[in-house]
Structures are given as structure tokens and as C-alpha cells.
């Protein structure tokens, strides 16, 4: 009989789903109507769980899966999994570390350029036929040059370094903050986030920071100032969204490019309706290339764990 695995989040690559179906008896939890009854009947036989970083897996569900050998996260977020519990149980928890870096950094730059140059507002202006009605150059406000902007990076991990490489190509002076100074990074380290914001034209959030919350608040946004931009491709909860919405509405910052939010998929109305914001639906890694690589890493993690080995991307064993 094929090993049974429980899939909590969809995988969008058909070839990977076919491969999983060939090797395992796959149960798609997100399609099951009576989830509690299903867990009572089948939880005892589940050997692997595939989930997403946002979905994770609850402690209660873990306790109903006594045969479980691996939780394979199709992403890099681990805050929705009780790692301490899994570590104590000897249960491998894996993530697709490194696979998302290039795409997330690309989107960070795309959001920043789009925000600076009012690309989305300009697109709406043309699509709505406003250019024909208002052909004068003054109909659209002047934008902000991106090249040469002072960029502050919050979190100099894989994504932060990839963002730094990209903004350096645009001639941007770079500062960064993290839990400590990185000896192998040539850019200026600023220990205090507010000071970094004050010295930056754009603040780009790249920190994993699973335990941090609301570190970008009104004081940081005011330090960034009315010509400053905020980009977040990290964690929604790093930002106090109420403070951000107020700062955007009042023009206390110039704009924001956001891929992540506190309570997804619910986005504050003030951010949705503002022409100062450029928004995405948590899609920084949503390319065929990256999602395929991530899914392949998930397949490998499951295969190694069910064969009795330690998955190479295990964070707990």
C-alpha cells in the first residue's frame, strides 16, 4: 500500500501533483468537507504533511497524526508550526529555503519602481480613457527617480542581500539593519530602525523575523518622511497597518509597495483605495520557475523522510 500523505495547501505545478499521486496516497485536506471526522478516521495512518508557510499546521492536528515523519512546508515561513514541539518529538520540519530568493528580490524592486514612478496609477489613467480627456502633461503628477535613491534594507539575509545587489546596480547607496552587523556585507550597518528610516529614501522589509510585530510604526514612518517609500516583501505583521494607512492617507510618506499583509487576504480599505499604494496578493514567489523548484524540494523532503533519512532542509532534526 502507498504511504498516506496529507496535503493542507495546493501545489500549483501539475507535474508535481502527478508525481505525488504516483508515489503516495494523497489526501487533499482543503477539499475535505468534514475535516474533524476525517482526522479521527485516517489521522493515525498519515506519514507526511505538505503545507504552506501561511497555513502551517496546528499543534492539535500534529497530535492527531502519531505516524507522522515529516512536515514539508512549501515556503519559508515557519511561524505557523510549533517547531519546539516537533523538535521534541523528533519530527522533521522542512522549508524551501533559498528557492524564493531571486523572485522575492525581483518583486521588491518591481514594487519600489512602480511606487516611485506611479506605474499603476498611470496604467489606470490610460485604461480609463483619461489621457484622451486630459492630454496635458500636468494631468499626471511628476514621479520620483529610483536610480540613486538611498535604500535601507531591513533584514540582510538571503533576500536582503539579493535586493542589495539589485539596488546597487541602480547606483543606490545602501544601509541595512539586522540583529547584528554582518562582517561579509560591505554596506553601512545601522542598528536603530528609526535612524535607518531617517537616512533612507526607501525602506525595504526583507526580514524573516517570525517573532517581530509592528516594528514599522508611526515613528518609523515619520522618520522615513513625506518623500520616502516603504516596500514589504517579508511579513505583513512587521508593519503596524493602522499607522501605515494613516501615514499614506496624510501624505506623511510618499507611497508603499506591499506584497504581504497582517490579515491576509483582508487588506485595509485605506490601502486598497489609495493611489499612493502598489499592492500584490502575496505573490513574490509566484513564478513557474520558483514554484517548480519549491515543489521539487517538498517532494524530496517527503521521499527522504519516508525512507528513514533526515531531509536536507530539516529545521528540527
Let me know: does 210 contact 237? Beta carbons within 8 Å. no
pLDDT score recorded for residue 266: 96
pLDDT of residue 208: 82
The alpha carbon torsion through 167, 169, 170, 172 (nearest 10 deg) reads 60
pLDDT in tens, 184-198: 999 999 999 999 999
CA distances 311 to 152, 162, 248, 281, Å, are 35, 26, 44, 30
The model's pLDDT over 25-44, given as tens digits with 9 standing for 90+, comes to 999 999 999 999 999 999 99
* pLDDT score recorded for residue 210: 66
Q: CA geometry: angle at 227 spanning 132 and 201, to 5°?
A: 120
What confidence score (pLDDT) does residue 307 get?
97
The pLDDT assigned to 211 comes to 75
What is the reported pLDDT for 35? 96
The answer to whether 59 touches 276, Cβ cutoff 8 Å, is no
Residues of the chain falling short of pLDDT 70:
210
The reply to whether the predicted model has a pTM over 0.85 is: yes
Catalytic residues: 235, 264, 282
Place of cell 515543489: 295
Q: Does an H or E element contain 197, and which? A: helix 193-198
CB atoms inside a 10 Å sphere around CB 27: 16
Amino acid at each position: 500500500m502507498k504511504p498516506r500523505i496529507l496535503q493542507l495547501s495546493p501545489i500549483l505545478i501539475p507535474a508535481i501533483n502527478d508525481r505525488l499521486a504516483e508515489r503516495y496516497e494523497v489526501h487533499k485536506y482543503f477539499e475535505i468537507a468534514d475535516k474533524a471526522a476525517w482526522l479521527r478516521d485516517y489521522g493515525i495512518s498519515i506519514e507526511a504533511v505538505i503545507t504552506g508557510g501561511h497555513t502551517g499546521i496546528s499543534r492539535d492536528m500534529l497530535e492527531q497524526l502519531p505516524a507522522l515523519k515529516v512536515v514539508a512546508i512549501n515556503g519559508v515561513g515557519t511561524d505557523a508550526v510549533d517547531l519546539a514541539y516537533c523538535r521534541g518529538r523528533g519530527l522533521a520540519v522542512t522549508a524551501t529555503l533559498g528557492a524564493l530568493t531571486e523572485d522575492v528580490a525581483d518583486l521588491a524592486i518591481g514594487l519600489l519602481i512602480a511606487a516611485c514612478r506611479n506605474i499603476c496609477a498611470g496604467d489606470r489613467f490610460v485604461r480609463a480613457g483619461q489621457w484622451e480627456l486630459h492630454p496635458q502633461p500636468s494631468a499626471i503628477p511628476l514621479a520620483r527617480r529610483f536610480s540613486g535613491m538611498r535604500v535601507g534594507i531591513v533584514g540582510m539575509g538571503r533576500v536582503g542581500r539579493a535586493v542589495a545587489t539589485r539596488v546597487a546596480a541602480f547606483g543606490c547607496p545602501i544601509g541595512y539593519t539586522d540583529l547584528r552587523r554582518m562582517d561579509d556585507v560591505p554596506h553601512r550597518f545601522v542598528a536603530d530602525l528609526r535612524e535607518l528610516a531617517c537616512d533612507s529614501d526607501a525602506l525595504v522589509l526583507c526580514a524573516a523575523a517570525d517573532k517581530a510585530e509592528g516594528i514599522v510604526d508611526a515613528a518609523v514612518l515619520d522618520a522615513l518622511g513625506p518623500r520616502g517609500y516603504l516596500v514589504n516583501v517579508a511579513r505583513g505583521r512587521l508593519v503596524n497597518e493602522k499607522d501605515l494607512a494613516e501615514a499614506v492617507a496624510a501624505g506623511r510618506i510618499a507611497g508603499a509597495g506591499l506584497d504581504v499583509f497582517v490579515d491576509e487576504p483582508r487588506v485595509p480599505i485605506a490601502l486598497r483605495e489609495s493611489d499612493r499604494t502598489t499592492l500584490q496578493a502575496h505573490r513574490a514567489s509566484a513564478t513557474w520557475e520558483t514554484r517548480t523548484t519549491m515543489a521539487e524540494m517538498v517532494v524530496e523532503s517527503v521521499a527522504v523522510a519516508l525512507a528513514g533519512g533526515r531531509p536536507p532542509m530539516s529545521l528540527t532534526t
